[in-house]
Amino acid sequence: MSKKIPFVTKEQLEKIVSQYPTPFHLYDEAGIRRTARLVNKAFSWNKGFKEYFAVKATPNPYLLQILREEGCGADCSSYTELLMSDAVGFKESEIMFSSNATPAEDFKLARKLNVNINLDDITHIDFLEKVADIPETVCCRYNPGGHFAIANNIMDNPGDAKYGMTHEQIIEAYKILKSKGVKNFGIHAFLASNTVTNEYYPELARILFELAVELKEKTGAHISFINLSGGIGIAYKPEQQDNDVLAIGEGVRKVFEEVLVPAGMGDVKLFTELGRYMLAPNGALVTTAIHQKHIYKEYIGCDACAANLMRPAIYGSYHHISVMGKENAPCDHKYDVTGGLCENNDKFAVDRMLPEINIGDLLFIHDAGAHGFSMGYNYNGKLRSAELLLQEDGSVKMIRRAETPADYFATFDFGEYGPKLAEEAKIKM
């Protein structure tokens, strides 16, 4: 069994906590840069390669800037994400807009910013033309349907997914778009989530590369890029084997040379759209044990809750927990580690064997750097926590402050309750 090691020491964390109270999300700048450089190295054989970070995973402009400095682009799925990415400095083709059930205003902004648009459905061609216009470069999202499997191991079920066009639709979409003046085409597909196997991307690549050849032959379209999307996962559990992104890149290269090069399509650019792989291991939720409860089970109550990290509550997802200062102590106590929401699924761990936890201990909840803070919410009036960046020089920078009651009340129409709430929450009316 491998061991998960926090990217900070107990001493570092205690110093941070003396300035910023828990709970908070903490990100590792050095780890983010290291991961980005590894991904770029893995696909450096493709001259046009670009990683478009999935903004939805961790939408913070400071983190986006780090990724931009490492040569990444931004993958956006909403109006707000487009605004953020543009403000950070991503411009035009450095942004992919992949959306579904897309509002008109989102498409209008995407066209105003002249980003690469990835159409989710064939009907969106007419919709886009009606609310804005059709650009010269358009990507289409493909859904092959059925089950997606590797070695008879079903990994996901695209046939049940709401995303993408059928095989017949994407051929027809290319013909329609070409008749409307589109000169450069892209293909996109996402068939499985959080895969922990080096075989996923090469298998997905084969499907998309063969489709690209067929589309070129049947429509005469010039395919300039293929977006392999996300799906490269991480080893949440210590006993899992991490993906080897260098091996994945090499696997994709072999399929590229087998399928696209003989078809005269060796100039096709490859894009990726990673979120979890880029950020999850490089972020953690830090919380303090504030209560112990001894009833039918042993409970540890934390000052964080599912509002800070909801993946365990809604998916039953495993997130490893390190008790800071006790990393090498025997895991001889069985706990449910919980938050304070009025919901019984508000648990970071169930029947987890951990070292003995005392009130005041700091818990480092691993792999919370993607789909952690971004999925937060205000149920029970819980306030979103701060986001902190552990910089390469060891210093810590607050990159998002914690919410206050004033933030929570700010969007209310107070009416007769306004003066009292304003006084109590110190809101300036």
Domain 284-409 in the same topology as domain 28-280: no
The H-or-E segment that residue 373 falls in is: none
Confidence of residue 375 (pLDDT cuts 50, 70, 90): very high
**What's the CA gap between 219 and 223, in Å, rounded?**
10
User: What residue segments make up the domains of the chain, in order of their start?
Assistant: 28-280, 284-409
Distance CA 276, CA 54 (A): 8
Which tokens in the block code for residue 291? 């209560």
Backbone φ and ψ for 65, nearest 5 degrees, come out as: -65, -40
Mean pLDDT of 193-205: 90
Helices (H), 237-310: 245-259, 276-279
Mean pLDDT value across residues 110-127: 97
Judge whether residue 152 has pLDDT over 60. Answer: no
| Domain made up of 284-409: CATH architecture | Beta Barrel (2.40)
Burial class (CB in 10 A: 0-12, 13-18, 19+), 108: middle
**405 to each of 135, 219, 285, 410, 414, how far by Cα in Å?**
44, 57, 21, 8, 14
- In the chain, % of residues over pLDDT 70: 95
Find where tokens 């939408």 sit. 59
The fold adopted by the segment(s) 28-280 is: TIM Barrel (3.20.20)
Task: Kindly tell me if the per-residue pLDDT of 423 is higher than 90.
Answer: no
pTM of the model: 0.94
For the segment 371-400, the average pLDDT, to the nearest whole number, is: 96
pLDDT tens digits for 405-418? 989 988 887 777 76
Q: What are 348-369's pLDDT values in tens digits?
A: 999 999 999 999 999 999 999 9
Q: Is 76 a catalytic residue?
A: no
Residue of 139, 140, 331, 342 with catalytic role: 342
> Which pLDDT belongs to residue 173?
98
Answer for the pair 359, 289: CB distance below 8 angstroms, yes or no: yes
Is 1's pLDDT higher than 50?
Answer: no
| pLDDT for res 118 | 97
